[in-house]
A and B are shown apart, each in its own frame.
Chain A
Amino acid sequence: QKEVEQDPGPLSVPEGAIVSLNCTYSNSAFQYFMWYRQYSRKGPELLMYTYSSGNKEDGRFTAQVDKSSKYISLFIRDSQPSDSATYLCAIHKAAGNKLTFGGGTRVLVKP
């Protein structure tokens, strides 16, 4: 079993819809949570970073963390075709140096 599980999609939504993405993880040592966006053949771009349970909002993006359920989510409001990309969750332990990534969810926003 992978430490971080993420549905690979693809997830296809119409423009303007809410995109809902999630990851589950198995190790309670994971304490810091990130979401990256990756366009095809480009480097991952950091979107959101949080370390506490609850919600964090940044523009059209909301990251949600539920440590008791080991479940994290990313919501994209008013989705645009430019949001079409692969979204990767990444998790960091309290101690240690590496990020553990989910496999990524491919999102397609149709105009």
Chain B
Amino acid sequence: DSGVTQTPKHLITATGQRVTLRCSPRSGDLSVYWYQQSLDQGLQFLIQYYNGEERAKGNILERFSAQQFPDLHSELNLSSLELGDSALYFCASNLAGREQYFGPGTRLTVT
């Protein structure tokens, strides 16, 4: 167990809908990273927050947004969902350094 928690474990929703994924980092970690894992694209970095501020952006669609709250938990919001957004979404955390510790993921199914 990495100490990173994610909820929900599984989400099933319809196209056009909006969902929110939640992540709590390891105790003491200030950075949260979001990744998307699909069969054809592998693990892709979406966005990083450090102590409440956006620090880096990757291949994140404009329909997606994230934030990190004062208690350091983070939420990833996905809107106007498309079939192609079906994937595993992971969050990872660290305090400093390069190694990142991943949560168990949220499996999103868009029908």
Contact = CB atoms under 8 A, between A and B. Distances in A.
A binds B: yes
Interface of A: 32, 34, 36, 41-46, 49, 51, 88, 92, 96-104
Interface in B26-62: 31, 33, 42-45, 48, 55-56, 58
Contacts of A49: 98-99
Output the residue of A44, A45, A51 with the most chain B CB within 10 A: A44
Output the residue of B45, B55, B99 with the most chain A CB within 10 A: B99
Interface of B: 2, 4, 31, 33, 42-45, 48, 55-56, 58, 88, 90, 98-105, 107
Contacts of A98: 33, 45, 48, 56, 58
A97 B35 CA distance: 13
Given A99-B45, A104-B42, A43 B103 contact: yes
Contacts of B33: 97-99
Contact of A97 (B55, B90, B107): B55
A25 to B, nearest CB: 14
Contacts of A96: 56
12 contacts: A32-B98, A42-B105, A43-B102, A43-B104, A43-B105, A44-B102, A46-B100, A97-B33, A97-B56, A98-B56, A98-B58, A104-B42
Given A46-B2, A97-B56, 20 more contacts: A34-B98, A34-B99, A36-B102, A41-B107, A43-B2, A43-B4, A43-B90, A43-B102, A43-B103, A43-B105, A46-B99, A46-B102, A96-B56, A97-B55, A98-B58, A99-B45, A99-B100, A100-B45, A102-B42, A103-B42
A45 B90 CA distance: 12
A97 B101 CA distance: 14
Contacts of A101: 42-44
Nearest to A32: B98
A97 B48 CA distance: 8
A88 B56 contact: no
A13 B33 CA distance: 34
A43 B44 CA distance: 14
A34 B98 CA distance: 9
